[in-house]
Structure 1
């Protein structure tokens, strides 16, 4: 017996409830308009009736229905990066925006056609192929309390680290040889400790390299342990980088492919 959509969908989204799920309603909209797209379920089983995903690993859009008011909330992804987001009350507008993105539109073109779409300067930097400096800039000017500004400035002042892609997870500053998730995990990370010192460690598998009293000392410890072939970060995922980097061994390439499927927010 088919499952019945939840009551808030019946109340807020009658056309979705009638179709049985957002995936079914979105597919019907694609077919009616003539878009050559396929709506699929997301990886979250509990969202079987209220979410759908369209696209592949290179480009995709996820759409989720909110439960308190009528909104189709959307995230536009490209190669591991959420490039834009938005929300609309109309199924047809959601489907049309998905179609434009999946046919290769650029960010400004997407927003011009659908003003409910929002994106930032980092997304545009990704679109231009070089987000490293923009991401460093965002860390250098942020006011969030869990970012150690002295550490960020010390790392940015080191030319060999400044060309790598920075990201933070659980207050640890990580550096990647690629700019898209999954990131590389072959460069030591720096964790500020509560006593004011810093711990430098390999990320995966996690093992401690040493401790430092100052950000500058921690940065020097990272530089001393950089891979011999470490160069400026490239516009790729770790998997893409491993597939293209034939100077690395097969075990290293396999390790890159085993990277986690979820990562820190930008």
Structure 2
């Protein structure tokens, strides 16, 4: 199959001009809107012309250009969490949304000013500060096939694990001491395998891959293995990322 040629970006985005970049065009629009911060090039070299970002102490906004049709594809981040997304055909709207988010707007205020922005219940939970409990609730209520409900309930019944932020990587259940990505990986992982439960350290604990702790016949015994290997300083999960916690075992 013959690939379709990439459209001329100038025809879709005359603001860029022949040799311009999104970073230059967005910076100009941000400045005209009255905001005072730097718009940066996207880090990936392949996005040099079509991607841009704004970074703050804890917030970030990324903007990318659509290739087939005119659209500015936006993501709004805080504390390592993708809080909201949106797509608009207007560069000025993209500038306003970037400026409002980087200036500290709440999710509700951002959406009110920029109706093309959307967010979900988990983002609201992160904003309220109860993302851990909300994530557990989502897992306890989901019908997703990769989630072992018996394992979820056994973990939730254990206060030390219930205080951590749960997340799945493929079929493995992980626990983080922070609620944003990158997560911490210093708590054992549980993977259902052929009716049993394999408990391991995250792969970075061993150059050869996951370091085995043991296997259990049921979720309750698997949870006991995890709890037995928790470090003394393993407290409730906090907002932010593994980098914020100063840990070296993040991915």
TM-score by length of 1: 0.85
The residue aligned with 1:171 is 171
The residue aligned with 1:246 is none
Q: CA RMSD in A?
A: 1.7
SS in 1 for 2:96: helix
The residue aligned with 2:98 is 98
Higher RCO by CA contacts (8 Å cutoff, separation 6 or greater): 2
TM-score by length of 2: 0.90
Shift in Å at residue 7 of structure 1? 3.3
Distance 1:47 1:67 in 2: 12
The residue aligned with 1:147 is 147
Cα pair 1:130 1:235 within 8 Å, conserved: no
Shift in Å at residue 130 of structure 1? 2.2
Unaligned runs of 5+ in 1: 1-5, 243-255, 261-266
Cα pair 1:57 1:80 within 8 Å, conserved: no
The residue aligned with 1:241 is 245
The residue aligned with 2:200 is 201
SS in 1 for 2:250: coil
Note if 1:211 corresponds to 2:211: no
Q: How many residues align?
A: 241
Cα pair 2:80 2:240 within 8 Å, conserved: no
Match of 2:229 among 215, 218, 225: 225
Query: Residues 257 and 230 from structure 1, CA distance in 2 versus in 1: closer, same or farther, beyond 3 angstroms?
Result: closer
Could you report, residue by residue, the CA deviation over 1:173-209 in whole angstroms, capped at 9, with x for unpaired residues?
111122222222211010111x221110111313110
Equivalent runs, 1:83-94 vs 2, <5 Å: 83-94=83-94
Shift in Å at residue 57 of structure 1? 5.2
Distance 1:178 1:48 in 2: 32
Q: Which has a greater percent of helix? A: 1
Shift in Å at residue 236 of structure 1? 3.0
Distance 1:216 1:210 in 2: 13
Distance 2:74 2:119 in 1: 12
Cα pair 1:200 1:210 within 8 Å, conserved: yes
Distance 2:73 2:160 in 1: 40
